[in-house]
Homo-oligomer: A and B are copies of this chain.
């Protein structure tokens, strides 16, 4: 019998007191974000019109290695953190693998995912700046729920533009947000100029994250005392999410476990970036080595098939441009795609780390993802979010490889959240009606052709 418990909980006193900014350890920094009007690096003043001042500062800070977590945020973290690092004894048994599998479980809070880690930080800085409220977009609904919870805690108004297809498929997500006092609008709506324009251009569209972002930015910049907040992609979000990786590393260190492999699902990159940050930092500083794998859906393969180029972060082209692995800001994953992770681009920090070879990437098809999800749910007792299940898929694949080779690798993956509000996707899978889709090269080339020209 091993002495490693099923769930490793840090003490509250062992929780991180500062976020880790991996950019501080990167010799080659991610390319600067550009003002869409001038195509010049955006200034702090320009960025402060969209984001809260302190968040704009964090966005542009690529030198500080650590940024203190304000006490108010640490107190909120204590309501649902530290999150457990779980030893997947039952999954190992089921797979009959010599590998040791660990997962960092971020789903034990009502938002159901890791998104709350950044939501509370962004709400805090908005409150501190004396704002009335914030606007945002949400796709699957995890980010919108997290932000609603955070705003309710700090008594801020919260306006959420929810991708229309999710708004209709996930009425209960909407109700959770309403219970936390948020105003939820299906996107594209008729409430913003950009929404009306998109509705006119694509009648009957069920929306996309890119559209919803444009609407939320417009709503923020056209109301006095409001700012826009975003749940992924941004460097500030990765900074806040570093709490995941810091706790993971502290828990592993506490038990003298050296990770061989770290696996995370990748949509915009917030969970992956947060999870891997401290490990990537060790690689960058030449202190250790890890195999880091980003897992993305085959139907939205920004890292494995995208271009590393400057692109718009939103469909309406109102946000700064970022250099990132991208499928083009007009790319919308096939309607049969049920598994989240549908953003066209990838965090510029993750993109640059990937370009430098600090991590590798793999794409997986959704039926195999739901197979892995079902197996995991049955043996580990947690019904995972479709997003998280991308990481489960690859963790299982790697554990099975260890079975063949006899290697006792320590595999660590991020279980970003639960699937309780994704039962429409599970139903499709249970009914045998789930299919796979991989975009053709032609489809991607057509999308790449619309990338902005930036020198």
Contact = CB atoms under 8 A, between A and B. Distances in A.
A379 B383 CA distance: 26
A284 interface: no
Interface in A410-431: 418, 420-421, 423-424, 426-427, 430
A127 to B, nearest CB: 15
B178 A430 contact: yes
Copies of this chain held together in the complex: 2
Given A110-B383, A423-B171, A423-B172, A378 B80 contact: no
A9 B382 CA distance: 19
Interface string A346-360: 000000000000000
Interface string A331-374: 00000000000000000000000000000000000000000001
A275 to B, nearest CB: 21
B5 A175 contact: no
Interface string A368-412: 000000100111111100000000000000000000000000000
A110 B110 CA distance: 12
B378 A430 contact: no
A377 B149 CA distance: 8
Contacts of A149: 378, 381
Interface string A66-80: 000000000110111
Interface residues of A, number: 45
Nearest to A178: B430
B181 A378 contact: yes
Nearest to A150: B381
Contacts of A172: 172, 420-421, 423-424, 427
A378 B152 contact: yes
A12 B374 CA distance: 27
A179 interface: yes
Q: Which 7 A-B pairs rank lowest in CB-CB distance, beginning with the nearest? A: A172-B423, A6-B78, A175-B423, A110-B383, A420-B420, A152-B378, A79-B381
Given A76-B381, A172-B427, A175-B430, 8 more contacts: A6-B79, A7-B12, A108-B108, A172-B424, A175-B426, A176-B423, A176-B426, A420-B420
